[in-house]
Amino acid sequence: MVEVVRVVEFTHFSKERRPKRLTVDEVPPEMNEKGYPSGGGFIIAIEDDDGRKVFGLSEGEAALLVIRLWNALIGHGNDFMNLWALRKREKGSDQHV
pLDDT over 90 at 96, yes or no? no
Sign of CA dihedral 59, 4, 22, 53: positive
Report the number of distinct structural domains present in the chain.
1
What pLDDT score was predicted for residue 36?
93
Is residue 57 within 8 Å of residue 40, measured between CB atoms?
no
d(CA 45, CA 47): 6
pTM for the complete prediction?
Answer: 0.74
| Residues 14-58: tens digit of each pLDDT | 899 999 999 999 999 999 899 999 889 999 999 999 999 999 999
Sign of CA dihedral 84, 86, 91, 95: positive
| Residues 4-13: tens digit of each pLDDT | 999 999 999 9
| Residues 58-92: tens digit of each pLDDT | 999 999 999 999 999 999 999 999 999 999 988 88
Which residues form the domain of 82?
A: 5-95
